[in-house]
Chain A
């Protein structure tokens, strides 16, 4: 059996060890107010950028698309250089899980000594990684997390996409004014903060505009595949428009099943729908006549957008979705900030990112506001069997 003196020694040494560590940690934090170049000894000609995305797991498509977009931007950036430096990208998989995202951020900061981090997509993943980046004073830009809380973590955390508040208002206005609808049902993905957040904003705004919301609990959970019984209940409640803020994996199946059950009410959604896969999953019948808000449209006649789409198709053999465009713009905003930064320490990179004004990317003009959220326009798209078609542009 175990003997106690041994345990005593173990405990004492751990106490000693952990006190030392704590001290070291405080020292590090104190010193990072000054240029923290000493702790990051490495070759001078690269800037290291960490990327935390889901490369495996249930939301891997978003992660992979984002990284594709980032790589595309990177190619352009590294073709010229930033003050004589090249950007080196280190991608870490977070499996779409919060705990893994935290691990990945820690690893990037401590082992790879990255200067900046890009990521993640799902808000819950970013929320898990953000406090670590904030504590260690490493700037983190999320290209796609739209939940309000993400950037409230601290001054080192910023985003280059709009927030759920804006998106929900856009769709509520579209439903009430453009479509002239009065009675809405809301179907919520119960396992997603994104879905819950959008739903509550939509609800308030739609009521403010004189509409009514059917007061029933229509919810599903990510990874569900059968929605027929839920849709039956929605149908019986008789809405004239259905708001469905969810991700395309479930939305696609739901739209298809809705058509098979004789539901012809238009569905409205958010950027979670925006993937070329939606058409495949929902089928031509299911996808017809619904509207979403999103970050960009591959149909946009804008030169910049078309160049990006062509470039993407050439490299990856598929049309880019919103995540690809967002990842691409996130990287470009970062590169732009690096060019403007006085030097390459964390503090000045952060300042440069947070003072981004009117940067024009493929997802529109990006201005980072005082809450470190991007103020930028949203587009409303109509979903058609051939793809998403541009309907209107809404500025903040």
Chain B
């Protein structure tokens, strides 16, 4: 079933996106609304690489190089945006990142070499279920280790209390920028996988609404929790599609039902499904991140 296979892949891609944003927003406490912008940078870089260079290499090697390039360019974009913007706080930062996300989208809209508003077509189908989940697992391992290490502690301390962290000698700006770049890079990686899964990307895939939906994923799952981000990504990717399957009447009203379910979920579990907890697989024991 291509449809379910595809949805499973989309779940994986959104898991990576959500984990990236979770690093910025959930762990470091920096409110970013420009995640779709980094997603777009990765998607366009990766697609441009595999379409324009056309190297005589096996598909998966091209995909890996594209992923690396997507990660790096998105991280650089994160750096360029992060250095000026991360001085801002709270909602001001949110607006600035939102602005950058839109600027990135408008730039792609006006680049005719990658299709402009029509979109980038004929991208080879290099990604598959294995590679998507390979990177999901890699991201999980990476994030879990990051949290446990010294860098992670420093990043979390910024979320908990920036001034206290600074007075303890933590270079808050450095760690904020670091978290921002890695998060952006992960979005870029997800973008490369996305482009090579759908084989078509257009600037309309990366609107501000998508930044919001990725934010919804991590909040719904539980802000700051890796497993929460994963659960949130799965729920919000599958929900609109599952509603499609419930017959024509539901299908017509599916976006209305979707929004009502969202509100009800939030009212029932305001801290998200998992809160800050992690699901661990050492049975019976639950630890706080």
Residues of chain A touching chain B, judged by Cβ–Cβ distance below 8 Å, are 1-4, 6-7, 10-11, 14-15, 17-19, 21-22, 25, 55-56, 90-93, 95, 97-99, 102-104, 106-107, 109-111, 123-124, 127-128, 131-132, 136, 147, 149, 153, 190-193, 196
**Within the complex, what minimum Cβ distance (angstroms) separates B247 from chain A?**
11
Q: Judging by beta carbons under 8 Å apart, are A127 and B119 in contact?
A: yes
Kindly state whether residue B129 has any CB partner on chain A within 8 Å: yes
**Within the complex, what minimum Cβ distance (angstroms) separates B164 from chain A?**
26
Kindly state whether residue B267 has any CB partner on chain A within 8 Å: no
Q: Judging by beta carbons under 8 Å apart, are A190 and B280 in contact?
A: no
Q: Contact string, B144-172, partner A, CB cutoff 8 A, digits 1/0?
A: 10001000000000000000000000000
Cβ 8 A contact of B130, one of A6, A19, A193: A19
Q: What are the 9 closest A-B residue pairs judged by CB atoms, nearest first?
A: A193-B118, A110-B3, A18-B129, A18-B130, A106-B3, A14-B133, A6-B281, A128-B200, A98-B202
Across the two chains, which residue of chain B brings its CB closest to A18?
Answer: B129
Which residues of chain A are near B3, meaning CB under 8 Å? Answer: 106-107, 109-111
Which residues of chain A are near B128, meaning CB under 8 Å? Answer: 18, 21-22
Q: Judging by beta carbons under 8 Å apart, are B117 and A2 in contact?
A: no
Bound CA–CA A7/B129 (angstroms): 16
Bound CA–CA A124/B115 (angstroms): 10
Q: Judging by beta carbons under 8 Å apart, are B148 and A1 in contact?
A: yes
Cβ 8 A contact of A91, one of B122, B248, B280, B281: B248
Cβ 8 A contact of B202, one of A15, A19, A111, A124: A124
Q: Contact string, B240-253, partner A, CB cutoff 8 A, digits 1/0?
A: 01001100100110
Kindly state whether residue B6 has any CB partner on chain A within 8 Å: yes
Interface size on B, residues (CB 8 A): 45
Kindly state whether residue B141 has any CB partner on chain A within 8 Å: yes
**Within the complex, what minimum Cβ distance (angstroms) separates A135 from chain B?**
8
Bound CA–CA A376/B254 (angstroms): 38
Bound CA–CA A196/B199 (angstroms): 23
Kindly state whether residue B55 has any CB partner on chain A within 8 Å: no
Bound CA–CA A90/B241 (angstroms): 15
Q: Judging by beta carbons under 8 Å apart, are B117 and A190 in contact?
A: yes
Cβ 8 A contact of B1, one of A92, A104, A110: A110
Bound CA–CA A237/B129 (angstroms): 55
Bound CA–CA A190/B251 (angstroms): 32
Q: Judging by beta carbons under 8 Å apart, are B148 and A7 in contact?
A: no
Which residues of chain A are near B119, meaning CB under 8 Å? Answer: 98, 124, 127-128, 193
Q: Judging by beta carbons under 8 Å apart, are A7 and B141 in contact?
A: yes
Across the two chains, which residue of chain B brings its CB closest to A123?
Answer: B118
Kindly state whether residue B255 has any CB partner on chain A within 8 Å: yes
Q: Judging by beta carbons under 8 Å apart, are B141 and A111 in contact?
A: no
Q: Judging by beta carbons under 8 Å apart, are B129 and A3 in contact?
A: no
**Within the complex, what minimum Cβ distance (angstroms) separates B140 from chain A?**
6
What are 5 A-B contacts with C-beta separation under 8 Å?
A: A11-B137, A18-B133, A93-B251, A98-B205, A128-B198
**Within the complex, what minimum Cβ distance (angstroms) separates A51 from chain B?**
11
Which residues of chain B are near A6, meaning CB under 8 Å? Answer: 281
**Within the complex, what minimum Cβ distance (angstroms) separates B128 from chain A?**
6
Kindly state whether residue B260 has any CB partner on chain A within 8 Å: no
